Amino acid sequence: MKNKTGVLLGRLMCNILRSPDTIITVAITPIMMMLLFVYVFGGSIETSTDNYVNYLLPGILLMAIASGVAYTTLRLFNDIKSGLMARFITMPFKRSSILWAHVLTSLVSNALTVVVVILVAFLMGFRSSADILDWLAVAGILGLFTLALTWIAVIPGLKAKSMEGATAYSYPLIFLPFISSAFVPTETMPKIVRAFAENQPVTSIVNAIRTLLYEGSVGSDIWIALSWCIGIMVIAYFFAIKAFKRQLG
């Protein structure tokens, strides 16, 4: 059997390019949140950066990715309900290509969304002292985070009975940054909330990206962030493959 991931990826990307409002829609909410927090709340929030958008951007990027991966669930759900999945399964190529095409589509489309959000942040005054290696490290962390969330998104895409059920899982992911260091330092939070915030994946990922963008020195946060991303990705991949095999019957 041949690996046709590239062909299936091309099909999905063509659908996105014919309807670019998908990327625009995903980017709008994080951009609006960034505008709201910077221009309405930013003046009253004490952070370690001169410009609040510098502090805020890493968390906004994670929110954008969390919003974007929900479309992976919808694309998979629609392929199953329309009968396309059943047709693909009968064709002479590796069945894993079907899932990988959706995962890689998520990676590419979310990368485009991240670029849009960063460009808007630059217009709002975002500046970074990061060099090319720091930016590559940031891209790597965001890529791993996207893959981790996308493999989570694959599971409801395969198992959901309705469109509403398929997308419901994404809401906790989108709002998880609010209980982290994404918007305010965790030191300002009540003890119980702070304990949760400092020991959940978003905080370590946000801190690692913030360090790379503004300080340039890599501390323990980056290793914790990588551990979270890889750990979540491996576990989600395992359950996604199990769900896919059940879908195959």
| Residues 186 and 66 sit within 8 Å (Cβ to Cβ) | no
What's the token pair of residue 210? 């913030």
How many residues comprise the chain?
Answer: 249
Residues spanned by the domain of 113: 5-248
Residue 46 has pLDDT above 90, yes or no: no
Question: H helices then E strands: how many in the chain?
Answer: 11, 0
* Nearest partner of 59 among 33, 41, 28, 40, judged by Cα: 33
pLDDT at 200: 92
Q: DSSP assignment, residue 49?
A: S
Residue 24 has pLDDT above 80, yes or no: no
What are the tens digits of pLDDT across the range 130-145?
889 999 999 999 999 9
Tell me the HSE value of 21 on the side-chain side, using a 13 A CA sphere: 1
What are the tens digits of pLDDT across the range 167-183?
777 778 888 888 998 88
Count of domains observed in the chain:
1
**What sections of 37-95 are H helices per DSSP?**
52-81, 84-90
pLDDT at 85: 73
Confidence of residue 122 (pLDDT cuts 50, 70, 90): very high
Residues 158 and 87: their CA atoms lie apart, in Å, by 15
Mean pLDDT of the chain: 85
Q: What is the CA radius of gyration of the chain?
A: 19
pTM for this model (two decimals): 0.89
Q: CB atoms < 10 A from the CB of 164, how many? A: 8
Residue 102 falls in which region: left (phi positive, over 0), alpha (psi -120 to 50) or beta = alpha
Residue 112, burial from CB neighbour count under 10 angstroms (0-12, 13-18, 19+): middle
Residue 164 has pLDDT above 50, yes or no: yes
What are the tens digits of pLDDT across the range 207-218?
999 999 987 667
